[in-house]
Amino acid sequence: MNIIKKWNNISLVKRIIAGLAAGIILGLAVPQAEMIGILGDLFVGALKALAPLLVFFLVMHSLCRHQKGNSSNMKQIITLYFAGMLLAAFTAVVASFLFPSELALAESAEASAPGGIVEILENLLLSAVSNPIGAIVDANYVGVLVWAVIFGLALRGAGEVTKDVLGNITDGLSVAIRWVINCAPFGILGLVFTTLSTTGIKAFASYGKIILVLVGCMLFVAFVVNPILVFLNIRQNPYPLVLTCIKDSGIMAFFTRSSAANIPVNMALCKKLGLDEEKYSVSIPLGSTINMAGAAITITTLTMAATNTMGITVTFPMALLLSVVATISACGTSGVAGGSLLLIPLACSLFGISNDIAMQVVGVGFIIGVIQDSCETALNSSSDALFTAAAEFRNWRKQGKKIQW
């Protein structure tokens, strides 16, 4: 018991670093010990299982408790989400012009890509009206959000006992999530072990340049573009907030590789920052669905690499159009690990690149997916919490309330 107590007294970040180190050592030393990898599957599975329930009850409870006349900053949050994605895509375009990359296209990937933007938007709308129970079971966060909003508004006239029950369920789910998050060091140990034992390090050597461009763009957005957007809202040094979001949200998302699985982590971070639960309970799940700056970078960078490989000259206006298409398309990835890769054929079609070639680009994406998807998810998920906080702190500043975290 003393060992467990001492372990729990160590900060979560330090425990995660220990789990990361252990995963690297075991992955390189005993790659055949496949049972170690189950720790990662159990951790991610538990987060994904609880997250839809938490979102559903938290949003429903918040809305049924909402008093008419209370201000909402959802418009500012959504504006920040789309501004961040558009600037991320534009950053990837500029980086692709400055550091052009080519791909060795040989193998194709067997996957079904969307036919166009209309199809993406149609899928999103159909997801919104899916069966509410099915939406929770399938972790369809568009459907979960829509039905939670509908039921929350419908229950505004319910009695206090009903609202208290919803609150108690939400609290119970939050405690369960906290227990799961405390197991993160073991989960990350398993995830890192699986990555190193199955993929290895050599697989990334031949794709070094494209990986550097992708990761470089994501780091630039995380440490330059996003801080500028935050500064414009809070009018003070944005980096303490930016670094807090990356440390508390981005690191976990890097290993889980799923914005959906990281929703509970972002919820806990928003609570730690003192944000209004009524607002972040909606904006965080929404962000995991539509705020995909990392996906916009992936789609843009790999598409530009495909044009370079095919010898296609891309004009700057066409590149700007690609930025817009990548921004809209990124909303369709909806927190699914690797989902952004299947939208590359849509972007490639702008330049007349055939679907066969585009799917080979997707194949390259899957090869480098361990690094690309981890960095992409870390940027996406940490931005959800960052922009939610920035929008609320903007209101605090206007009200003369001291901003602190």
Dist CA 270 CA 253 (whole Å): 15
| pLDDT of res. 23 | 85
**Are the beta carbons of 327 and 82 closer than 8 angstroms?**
yes
How far are the Cα atoms of 11, 42, 365 from residue 21, in angstroms, in the given order?
16, 19, 26
Q: What is the mean pLDDT of residues 177-192?
A: 81
**Are the beta carbons of 50 and 176 closer than 8 angstroms?**
yes
Report residue 117's pLDDT band, with 50, 70 and 90 as the boundaries: low
Q: What is the mean pLDDT of residues 327-336?
A: 60
Query: Which residue reads 């995991």 in tokens?
Result: 288
Of 105-109, 193-197, 202-206, 255-259, give the lowest mean pLDDT range: 105-109
Of 23-37, 181-195, 361-375, give the lowest mean pLDDT range: 361-375
- Using one digit for the tens of pLDDT, what is the confidence trace for 261-291? 788 889 889 989 888 888 888 888 888 877 8
How far are the Cα atoms of 332, 342, 343 from residue 295, in angstroms, in the given order?
10, 11, 9
Provide, rounded to the nearest whole percent, the portion of the chain with pLDDT above 90: 15
| pLDDT of res. 222 | 94
**Structure tokens, 21:** 């180190």
| pLDDT of res. 71 | 52
Instruction: Look at residue 100 and tell me whether its pLDDT is greater than 90.
Output: no
**Mean pLDDT of the residues in the chain:** 80
Dist CA 58 CA 49 (whole Å): 15
Report residue 113's pLDDT band, with 50, 70 and 90 as the boundaries: very low
Report residue 337's pLDDT band, with 50, 70 and 90 as the boundaries: very low
Dist CA 391 CA 44 (whole Å): 29
Report residue 238's pLDDT band, with 50, 70 and 90 as the boundaries: very high
Instruction: Look at residue 259 and tell me whether its pLDDT is greater than 70.
Output: yes
- Using one digit for the tens of pLDDT, what is the confidence trace for 138-183? 777 678 878 888 888 888 888 888 888 888 888 888 788 778 878 8
| pLDDT of res. 311 | 83
Instruction: Look at residue 228 and tell me whether its pLDDT is greater than 70.
Output: yes
**Structure tokens, 274:** 């003192």
Of 43-52, 82-91, 237-246, 302-311, give the lowest mean pLDDT range: 43-52
Judge if pTM exceeds 0.75: no
Report residue 348's pLDDT band, with 50, 70 and 90 as the boundaries: confident
| pLDDT of res. 41 | 84
| pLDDT of res. 111 | 43
Q: What is the mean pLDDT of residues 327-342?
A: 60
Which class for 216: exposed (0-12), middle (13-18), buried (19 or more C-beta within 10 A)?
Answer: middle
- Which residue, among 295, 366, 353, 302, has the nearest Cα to 326 in the 3D structure? 295
| pLDDT of res. 336 | 44
| pLDDT of res. 33 | 83
**Are the beta carbons of 336 and 107 closer than 8 angstroms?**
no
Domains and CATH numbers, the chain: 2-399 (1.10.3860.10)
Residue 306: CB atoms within 10 A of its CB come to 26
- Using one digit for the tens of pLDDT, what is the confidence trace for 50-94? 878 877 887 787 777 665 544 567 788 889 998 998 899 899 999
